[in-house]
Amino acid sequence: MKNTISLILCLSILFFLLSCNKSSMENNEKIENNKISLVENSNLRLPTKSQFASVSQVIGTSDIFISYFRPSVNNRTIWGDVVLWDSLWRAGAEGASTFRISNNARVGGKPIPKGDYSFFVIPRKNLPWTIIFNKNINLFGIHLYDENEDVLRFDADAINSPFVETMTFTFSKVNSYSTILKLSWAEKTIEIPIDFDKTTSWNNIKKFIENNEQPDSLLWRDYLSIGNYCVFTEDKDYALYSMGLIDKSLDIQETFENLKIKSDLYAVLSQYDSASKYAKDAHALGSTTGMPLHVANLLEENIRKYNSLNIDNSNLPRE
């Protein structure tokens, strides 16, 4: 009987101690959960193994922005080892790489709406690599990646290239409508063409003029700026449109600047006799109004060039 009572007493004490310990642990957990993390709520920056980077590029009136973490080779075999063949790769390290475009575009020859995307690659040993744009940008690496959220997939060739220790995104062949995005790491590079619609800028220009072309609203310099944009695009259709804008600029105030742009526009249209005439007019007016020396030299060079070409293209409208 005494043994039974002793056993019951011991078990009761043990149960009481366990209950107290559990209660203490729960209280400690509550206290811990209610505490504010000093690290998470401070300005302390902790380094990451791979360093964060971003690269951006303006294409005409469109913006491309890429953010990513940059892994290094560190004497490792990258392709087929660190990055497995035929497997989804985050195209970087740490969090997934992200890609932002401000206007609708064609990437890899396929249309993609403006917006923000995560960026993935499936490397293949002897076949083109698969490039993926996914609409979920809140991914850490490939965790929670869902193929159903892919917005765009296409194939691109991976070419052998000079060794790159730390993974890098760069832009090449940049103009006002397109560029080539390059991803380079170790001894491989993939090139991704990105193209924007040429009409995007001109639709914006035409809309701007329609909304603002009231009496005395636009200055001669406003028309000049648009005409100057057309000159470096070297597009004949837009040159014809801009010619009318430069005439409006000249109607407001004749300057060596807008005379020069009119000369340049005629050169875009291959009407070199008219281009020479307006270059001479610009030089003559500029000589009396404080034209900078480098502009005078450029006009003189253009006059000689246009006179030597002197091409009469009868298929294009003439003044």
pLDDT at 30: 47
Residue 257 inside a domain? The answer is yes
Residue 296 inside a domain? The answer is yes
CA distance 106 to 64: 12
Query: What distances in angstroms separate CA 9 from CA 12, 13, 17, 22, one per listed residue?
Result: 5, 6, 12, 20
**Per-residue pLDDT tens for 283-301?**
999 999 989 999 999 999 9
Are 151 and 112 within 8 A, CB to CB? Answer: yes
Q: What is the mean pLDDT of residues 302-307?
A: 92
Token readout for 73 is 């080779």
Residue 288 inside a domain? The answer is yes
pLDDT at 316: 47
Q: Tell me: do 80 and 191 sit in the same domain.
A: yes
Q: Tell me: do 97 and 182 sit in the same domain.
A: yes
| Of the residues 155, 180, 196, the one at which a domain ends | 196
Least confident of 24-38, 122-136, 175-189, 203-217: 24-38
Query: Residue 263 carries which side chain, given as an amino acid letter?
Result: S
pLDDT at 39: 55
Domain holding 185, by residue range, is 51-196
CATH code, domain with 267: 1.25.40.10
| Of the residues 196, 228, 258, the one at which a domain ends | 196
pLDDT at 229: 81
139 C-beta neighbours (distance < 10 Å), count: 19
Q: Tell me: do 93 and 133 sit in the same domain.
A: yes
Query: Residue 181 carries which side chain, given as an amino acid letter?
Result: L
Residue 94 inside a domain? The answer is yes
Q: Tell me: do 186 and 58 sit in the same domain.
A: yes
**Per-residue pLDDT tens for 251-280?**
989 999 999 999 999 999 999 999 999 999
Q: Tell me: do 164 and 260 sit in the same domain.
A: no
Q: Tell me: do 75 and 189 sit in the same domain.
A: yes
Look-up: residue for tokens 């491989």?
Answer: 188
| Of the residues 145, 166, 196, the one at which a domain ends | 196
Q: What is the pTM of this model?
A: 0.70
Residue 97 inside a domain? The answer is yes
Residue 30 inside a domain? The answer is no
Sequence-distant (6+) residues with CB within 8 A of 217 are none
Q: Is the pLDDT of residue 74 over 80?
A: yes
pLDDT range class, residue 60, cuts 50, 70, 90 = confident
Are 172 and 55 within 8 A, CB to CB? Answer: no
Q: What is the mean pLDDT of residues 151-167?
A: 96
Q: What is the β-pairing status of strands 178-196 and 105-107?
A: antiparallel
For the chain, what percent of residues have pLDDT higher than 70? 83
Pairwise pLDDT comparison (46 vs 194), residue with the higher score: 194
Residue 264 inside a domain? The answer is yes
Pairwise pLDDT comparison (229 vs 182), residue with the higher score: 182
SS3 of 141, please? coil
Please give the tally of structural domains in the chain: 2
Q: Of 158, 132, 126, 160, whose CA–CA distance to 146 is shortest? A: 132
Residue 63 inside a domain? The answer is yes
Q: Give the number of C-alpha atoms closer than 13 A to the C-alpha of residue 157, restricted to the C-beta side.
A: 3
Q: Is the pLDDT of residue 91 over 80?
A: yes
Q: Tell me: do 60 and 132 sit in the same domain.
A: yes
pLDDT at 241: 86
pLDDT range class, residue 77, cuts 50, 70, 90 = very high
Are 95 and 51 within 8 A, CB to CB? Answer: no
Kindly state the helix (H) or strand (E) to which residue 1 belongs, with its residue range. none
Q: If you average pLDDT over each of 1-10, 37-46, 214-223, 239-248, which comes out highest?
A: 239-248
pLDDT range class, residue 31, cuts 50, 70, 90 = very low
Pairwise pLDDT comparison (211 vs 20), residue with the higher score: 211
